[in-house]
A and B are shown apart, each in its own frame.
Chain A
Amino acid sequence: QKEVEQNSGPLSVPEGAIASLNCTYSDRVSQSFFWYRQYSGKSPELIMSIYSNGDKEDGRFTAQLNKASQYVSLLIRDSQPSDSATYLCAFGRTYKYIFGTGTRLKVLA
């Protein structure tokens, strides 16, 4: 079982819709969770961090964490073509960061 699982996509959504990205992880002791956005040829950019169960909102982005079910999700409201990128989830564990392989999101104008 992989430590972090993400659907590679592509996930295609129309402009203005809600994009929902999901990530499951296997380590129950993880304390920190992150979402990164990576445009093609660029480095990952941190967009959200979440440490507690529940929702965390930042502008059009909402991260949801459920430690009991071991999943974290990212909702992007009012999706824009500029949101088209690969989204990586990551979690922190024992001084290490574990990354998923990313979900490619395509927002169709």
Chain B
Amino acid sequence: KAGVTQTPRYLIKTRGQQVTLSCSPISGHRSVSWYQQTPGQGLQFLFEYFSETQRNKGNFPGRFSGRQFSNSRSEMNVSTLELGDSALYLCASSFRRGTGELFFGEGSRLTVL
């Protein structure tokens, strides 16, 4: 059974650019969550999608957005990149929201220069 797949794994952007990250959840999982992780900050929750609808949102500016498609695949977008957006972006999927086991992808490491 394939795990959560994230692409791209690594990317380098410059300030002001935008970036789109992709996530394919485990087959059968309809809940997809996104997290940002920076050294010393722990996992910061960005948002969660379920059945193509954003269900929960963390405390991030509107530059961070996402969407989910009918096949449960999800994308997140960050516009007008800032240096502080450099981080590991993690996607996770679960079968049952909030109670089921949450599985993470390998992450997309974004560096903003």
How far is B104's CA from A44's CA once the two chains are assembled, in angstroms?
6
| Residues of B close to A88: CB separation below 8 A | 42-43
Count of chain B residues near A, Cβ 8 A = 20
Given contacts A95-B98, A97-B33, contact A43 B107 (CB under 8 A): yes
Q: Is A99 an interface residue (CB 8 A)?
A: yes
A99 → B minimal CB distance (Å)? 5
State the majority secondary structure of interface residues on A.
Answer: strand
B104 touches A92 (CB 8 A): no
Closest 7 CB pairs of A and B: A95-B98, A101-B42, A92-B98, A95-B97, A43-B104, A32-B99, A99-B43
Q: Identify B48's interface contact among A31, A49, A96, A99, CB under 8 A.
A: A96
Given contacts A43-B105, A43-B107, contact A99 B98 (CB under 8 A): no
Q: Is B64 an interface residue (CB 8 A)?
A: no
B49 → A minimal CB distance (Å)? 12
A23 → B minimal CB distance (Å)? 13
Q: Which residue of B lies closest to A32 (CB)?
A: B99
| Residues of A close to B103: CB separation below 8 A | 46
How far is B45's CA from A95's CA once the two chains are assembled, in angstroms?
13
A21 → B minimal CB distance (Å)? 15
B90 touches A49 (CB 8 A): no
B68 → A minimal CB distance (Å)? 15
A96 touches B102 (CB 8 A): no
A96 touches B90 (CB 8 A): no
Q: Is B56 an interface residue (CB 8 A)?
A: yes
A44 touches B90 (CB 8 A): yes
| Residues of B close to A101: CB separation below 8 A | 42
